[in-house]
Amino acid sequence: MEADYVIVGAGSGGSAMAYRLAEAGRKVIVIEHGGTDAGPFIQMPAALSYPMNMGIYDWGYATEPEPELNGRRLVTPRGKVIGGSSSINGMVYVRGHARDFDHWSDMGAAGWSYADVLPYFRRMETWHGGRDGADPAWRGTDGPMHITRGPRKNPLFQAFIEAGKAAGYGYTPDYNGARQEGFGPMEATIYKGRRWSTANAYLRPALKGGNVTILRGLAQRVVIEDGRARGVSVRRGGQSELVRARAEVILAASSLNTPKLLMLSGIGPGAHLAEHGIEVVADRSGVGANLQDHLEIYMQFAAKQPITLYKYWNLIGKASIGAQWLFTKTGLGASNQFEACGFIRSDKGVDYPDIQYHFLPIAVRYDGKVAAEGHGFQVHTGPMRSKSRGTVRLRSGDPAAAPEIRFNYMSHPDDWTEFRKVIRLTREIFAQEPMQAHVKHEIQPGAAVQSDAEIDAFLREHAESAYHPCGTARMGAADDPMAVVDPQGRVIGVDGLRVADSSVFPRITNGNLNGPSIMVGEKMADHVLGRDPLPSANVEPWMSVNWQAAQR
């Protein structure tokens, strides 16, 4: 039970890391508590609402009661399966805005500006999206992650894009390229009709090479001797055993489980560790702090024409879609149905987009409950850069116990102002002529919800997590008391231990987090191997020239 590197977590960052280390000839053990990702619930893109609600694939975590959301406990799915959350997510692929990464660099994550990370986004992807006028120079051509675009056959997708243009926001041929701002086609980690998780992209090829072994078990703590990580204590079959690392231990267990593991290992806020009888190895108050997420609502509209996916929302319809997918990997089952999107700025003086739209041609919740009114469609939307911050803390010293998760959603007053703008700007988009041909009426929030107080009441009851937690072991300068890892992913105060998942994000990025999480695994692998980083990209992302004076 020994390897050069021991990685905890077979998810987005961990799989990419394992692949690159194995490619370089290193021996790697990947510890994963979850099991196989085989079967249609994970591999069929249209079945995405199932795995994140199945205990066999999901850790089953929930927040503590959220004070600003009527004391609701929000579910926070995290993948407990090969491929991690890339095996249970919505498969939407967003790199993030260039300014997000420049901000990371400004916060002390030197070497993580957009010019620094773009080469890693290129290295990790094979892009199949060049038919919409996008510039391929920004994209990768031979990486493990296949990035595709849905067929957009349903006329509602184009109507939504046209409505965004009619509202004055403009078109972007590739929001992952030079220009994020605007409306256009959405991209997905789907390839040949299948979910292209990091298990399919990275882990399976790495396993075939013989340098990677997957060990099923619950990682209990990092074993630290004389200030250096020597391995990981793993519980399996009712027994604890030590998996030794000759070189380093790398944590990639998610932004909820990585800080939990660090604290169980004696790395974290000293007083909190003492409460649970854990000996302090490194007193780092940033462990489990800085927790961030995207909060969103589903704005739903009843449809005038019966052209939505609701016509398949019955046993016969689902069976026919499933059968077509099983035999041919084509049809509606081969798409996540998120095929059109938008990124806009909420106000003048905002220099880059802070509102995201996922358009879906059915009115349905993530848990698979369809709107009672039948034919409809919706957008998932919310602000991108909430100022609220939360915490992950230990519930007990028992490694099997779930962590205490508090996002403190909507705890900053600006969150309310921004969310009200989201609702009003969205209504304006759906009032444009291209969508008016399809909108019968607004289902949710509903036309009666107009005043600030009415909107706020709706948000308290209906805002949901977009499932984008991050930031709980953030990167920063080694002398920053709130930083947990340095810009090479090394845990400050302990040798031989790194983090390579969304925990290290200094601030949440625009859009969905799977893309940047994989990029972190890719880039950290070069740091682990002691390689020079890929040469910085010499590119100039598109920015609205008039952002200071105009909202669009």
Residue in 520, 525, 476, 522 with CA at minimum distance from that of residue 501: 520
Site of tokens 């027994």: 239
Yes or no: say if 478 and 267 are a contact pair by the CB < 8 Å rule. Answer: no
Same domain, 422 and 515: no
Yes or no: say if 100 and 118 are a contact pair by the CB < 8 Å rule. Answer: no
Give a yes or no: residue 542 inside a domain: no
List the chain pLDDT tens, one digit each, 552 residues: 999 999 999 999 999 999 999 999 999 999 999 999 998 999 999 999 899 889 999 999 999 999 999 999 999 999 999 999 999 999 999 999 999 999 999 999 999 999 999 999 999 999 998 778 889 999 999 999 999 999 999 999 999 999 999 999 999 999 999 999 999 999 999 999 999 999 999 999 999 999 999 999 999 999 999 999 999 999 999 999 999 999 999 999 999 999 999 999 999 999 999 999 999 999 999 999 999 999 999 999 999 999 999 999 899 999 999 999 999 999 999 999 999 999 999 999 999 999 999 999 999 876 667 776 899 999 999 999 999 999 999 999 999 999 999 999 999 999 999 999 999 999 999 999 999 999 999 999 999 999 999 999 999 999 999 999 999 999 999 999 999 999 999 999 999 999 999 999 999 999 999 999 999 999 999 999 999 999 999 999 999 999 999 999
Same domain, 246 and 119: yes
Locate 251 and state its tokens. 């944590």
Terminal Cα-to-Cα distance of the chain (whole angstroms)? 58
Same domain, 488 and 424: no
Give a yes or no: residue 287 inside a domain: yes
State pTM to two decimals.
0.98
Yes or no: say if 138 and 539 are a contact pair by the CB < 8 Å rule. Answer: yes
For the domain that residue 326 is a member of, what is the CATH number?
Answer: 3.30.410.40
Give a yes or no: residue 352 inside a domain: yes
Give a yes or no: residue 340 inside a domain: yes
Query: What confidence score (pLDDT) does residue 177 get?
Result: 97
Residues 6 or more apart from 117 whose CB is under 8 A from it? 101, 516, 519, 523
Query: What confidence score (pLDDT) does residue 366 get?
Result: 66
Query: What confidence score (pLDDT) does residue 507 get?
Result: 98
The pair phi, psi for residue 412, each rounded to 5°, is -100, 135
Concatenated DSSP letters for 304-360?
A: SSS-SGGGG-SHHHHHHHHHHHHHHS-SGGG--S--EEEEE-SSTT--S--EEEEEE
Give a yes or no: residue 548 inside a domain: no
Locate 296 and state its tokens. 């969103």
Query: What confidence score (pLDDT) does residue 365 get?
Result: 75
Site of tokens 């016969």: 316
Question: Whole-angstrom Cα distance, residue 319 to residue 18?
Answer: 37
Give a yes or no: residue 488 inside a domain: yes
Locate 514 and state its tokens. 């799977």
How are beta strands 267-268 and 404-406 bridged, if at all?
A: unpaired
Domain boundary among 431, 462, 493: 462
Locate 358 and state its tokens. 């996922």
Same domain, 135 and 209: yes
Same domain, 239 and 321: no
Same domain, 142 and 160: no
Question: Whole-angstrom Cα distance, residue 132 to residue 295?
Answer: 30
Domain of residue 163: give its range: 151-185+295-383+411-462
Locate 134 and state its tokens. 């996008």
Give a yes or no: residue 26 inside a domain: yes
Q: Which helix (H) or strand (E) holds 243?
A: strand 239-251
Same domain, 336 and 353: yes
Question: Whole-angstrom Cα distance, residue 419 to residue 421?
Answer: 5
272 is catalytic: no
Q: How far is CA 235 from CA 83, 131, 337, in A?
A: 20, 50, 39
Locate 551 and state its tokens. 């909202």
Same domain, 442 and 323: yes
Same domain, 113 and 262: yes
**Given 358, 375, 438, 468, the catalytic residue:** 468
Query: What confidence score (pLDDT) does residue 129 get?
Result: 86
Query: What confidence score (pLDDT) does residue 370 get?
Result: 72
Same domain, 89 and 72: yes
Q: How far is CA 366 from CA 122, 229, 360, 464, in A?
A: 31, 40, 11, 10
For the domain that residue 41 is a member of, what is the CATH number?
Answer: 3.50.50.60
Residue in 250, 167, 182 with CA at minimum distance from that of residue 490: 250
Locate 233 and state its tokens. 């204590």
Give a yes or no: residue 543 inside a domain: no
Same domain, 264 and 402: yes
Same domain, 457 and 475: no
What interhelical angle do 155-166 and 413-430 show, nearest 10?
A: 110
Alpha helices in 377-432 (DSSP H): 413-430
Domain tally for the chain? 2
